[in-house]
Amino acid sequence: MAHSLKILFFLFSTLSIIPLSHQLEQHPLDSLTAKEFIRVQAIVNQSHPTSTTNLTFQYIGLNEPDKQAVLSWLQNHPTTTPPPRQAFVVARINHQTHELIIDLSRDDIVSDRIHHGFGYPSLTFQEQIDADQLVSNHAPFLAALNKRGLKAEKVVCGSFTVGWFGETKQNGRVVKIMCYYLDGTVNLYMRPIEAITVTVDLEAMKIIHFQDRLVVPVPKAAGTDYRESKQKPPFGPELKGITVVQPDGPSFTIDGSRVRWANWDFHLTFDARVGPIVSLASIYDTEKQEFRRVMYRGFVSELFVPYMDLTEEWYYRTFFDAGEYGYGLCAVPLEPLRDCPANAVYMGAFVAAQNGMPIEMPNVFCIFERNAGDVMWRHTETMIPPDLITEVRPDMSLVVRMVSTVGNYDYINDWEFKQIGSIKVTVGLTGLLEVRGSKYTHKDQIDEEVYGTLLAENTLGAYHDHFITYHLDLDVDGESNSFVKSKLETVKVTDQTSPRKSYWKVVSETAKTESDAKIKLGPDSAELLVVNPNKRTNMGNFVGYRLIPGSVASPLMTNDDYPQIRAAFTEYNVWVTPYNKSEKWAGGVYTDQSRGDDTLATWTSRNRRIENKDIVLWYTLGFHHVPYQEDFPLMPTISTGFELRPANFFEYNPVLKVKGPNNVRWPNCSVSSSGLN
């Protein structure tokens, strides 16, 4: 959620300004290059001279071309020119929010619109750093530290967005500063300095309010440091090394942003707000001898993380990690052999600094082939004596990974492509809990609502949620698709046709409007499909892909609670909308202090037609996180996700003729009848 001062400085130290270099032919969906960032900055600065203007760049990204223009270019490439390259810019200019569209083919501003509605753009790293630094010289803050016996040089602070709680007037761009104490650990989040609140006006960059409500014990540093070098015996059992080796090199190729592996072909790019974007994902049909599109564009649209603590310093901690902080902006360099296996290949990306200059983010993606020992398909036939027929195919897949560290939490994002035609999307949560300092040292002392679990002395782990909403523009064998929801219904046998008393059948319904497609997942839900009603298999079934959910969680806050009004897009696990290029961020363009008037939930209130249309599937997965002592002082990864799996897309099993790897080797071991030796 919030970033500490040291974390922000570390991230900036790992990033670097990129020099201009020769650019290869660009794909219309490629992220902006370093050269293009510089051109955008120059164009905006020329239009709004900084000598007379207060100008900051809050977001710069690709202004995605119209979908039909991209598809037309793909169909006629290379004989036709690509759509014009454009950038979408959100800038604060003289304390107003400007939306600008920059035409990079003409080096001019196509539009410059001032946002007059509710909400503000995402925070930049630089303004968070500047805000955090203000407290170091603030006399009341230093006096509060002295009262607690804390050393000022051991304090680090982070900026927290303030949300909206029914105010009729906008508060201006403000953040609240919360601070932590090191002194014996790097695990700052386990040592919060409670009950001190500093409010900063980001436009004036000054402290506008200070409160020291009461003194709460700061949790101890002992046992909180998670660095390997700081651990002391006893240790757990040590495992022997496992090596991932591909003697013939990887089976995938990367050409610019295009990735090809096995029967998959897709486009991979990066965005400062949402992180990885997978586009034009197509799979090769060996029977038809052609690539068939599955998904036009898929990405994380928003993350909503509300905490359930109602105390003065906590009630507003209801974060929108993508819209307020930038899920891609918070991506961190991946550690070889730790974050990714030895056979991984790495890709970098660019974001814009607050002044608009490009910054390189090295190793933001890793791409690798996975053989985890799973089975793709198998059968042993024992009914044809004396023969024993056994056929097994190992499950090989391709993984694209990014890690986003949004303050205390690390999100591990995987897009996994399987030979059977599935796209498996997984998110893992690890990192550090947000904990509240407390007077309690044992659970038996607690005689009030504390909104969390006592994890260690003076340390309460707050209850909270994680809701992650994905934008999935599926084009199942074409753009015109329909959404089919099916239920398994029990049928009682009332006649004498069978000795059985009951059976179940599938009852399907095609959603005609957006309201028909809203689904809260539960025990009654069975099959959720996106089909192409214009194409059938030889057996007469509509070709399709089905959504296979992982763990299911729904909001437990009331619908009239202000954070839930802003995050009404989490009310249903599944939404379906007609394609609209402007509808891509479920929490709205301006999420900071938003009021819920520009979200996925409000878009769907128009109840548009979605049958046999170009449609977008939105899926929200969630965690209700009740902290346990095993989550202290660092949380082991917990994962969930979903799968997009073929449903009558192929005429038969698409991996029937897939061969296993041709170089399976078992070094230093042999197989005998008694086992491995």
**Cβ(301)–Cβ(273) under 8 Å?**
no
**Cβ(269)–Cβ(277) under 8 Å?**
yes
CB-based burial, 11-27: b 16+ in 10 Å, e otherwise = beeebeebeeeeeeeeb
180, 296, 409, 440: which one is catalytic? 409
Locate 247 and state its tokens: 């003697």
Q: State the Cα–Cα distance between residues 434 and 128, nearest whole angstrom.
A: 19
30, 271, 321, 614: which one is catalytic? 321
* Residue 321 designated active-site: yes
Q: State the Cα–Cα distance between residues 83 and 73, nearest whole angstrom.
A: 8
Cα Dmax for the chain:
90
| List of residues 6+ apart from 330 with CB closer than 8 A | 3, 321, 404, 405, 406, 407
Q: State the Cα–Cα distance between residues 417 and 426, nearest whole angstrom.
A: 11
Q: State the Cα–Cα distance between residues 110 and 87, nearest whole angstrom.
A: 10
| List of residues 6+ apart from 587 with CB closer than 8 A | 301, 302, 304, 320, 322, 323, 566, 567, 569, 594, 599
Which amino acid is it at 673? S
| DSSP-derived secondary structure for 483-507 | EEEEEEEEEE--SSS-S--EEEEEE
| List of residues 6+ apart from 39 with CB closer than 8 A | 102, 104, 107
* Residue 409 designated active-site: yes
For residue 336, what is the DSSP state? Answer: B
CB-based burial, 388-425: b 16+ in 10 Å, e otherwise = eeeeebbbbbbbbbbbbbbbbbbbbbbbbbbbbbbbbb
Q: State the Cα–Cα distance between residues 56 and 510, nearest whole angstrom.
A: 47
Q: State the Cα–Cα distance between residues 97 and 566, nearest whole angstrom.
A: 20
Q: State the Cα–Cα distance between residues 617 and 549, nearest whole angstrom.
A: 13
Locate 10 and state its tokens: 């570390």
Residue 236: CA atoms inside 13 Å, Cβ hemisphere, count? 3
Q: State the Cα–Cα distance between residues 428 and 551, nearest whole angstrom.
A: 12
Q: State the Cα–Cα distance between residues 141 and 212, nearest whole angstrom.
A: 8
| List of residues 6+ apart from 573 with CB closer than 8 A | 519, 520, 521, 549, 552, 554, 619, 620, 621
Three-class DSSP labels, 564-624? HHHCHHHCCCEEEEECCCCCCCCCCCCCECCCCCCCHHHHHHHCCECCCEEEEEEEEEEEE
Q: How many helices (H) and strands (E) does the chain have?
A: 8, 33
The radius of gyration of the chain's CA atoms, rounded to the nearest angstrom, is 27
**Cβ(412)–Cβ(626) under 8 Å?**
no
Which amino acid is it at 231? Q
Q: State the Cα–Cα distance between residues 467 and 563, nearest whole angstrom.
A: 13
Angle (nearest 5°) at CA 371 between 366 and 373: 145
Q: List the beta bridge partners of residue 370.
A: 397
> Catalytic residues, which ones?
321, 409
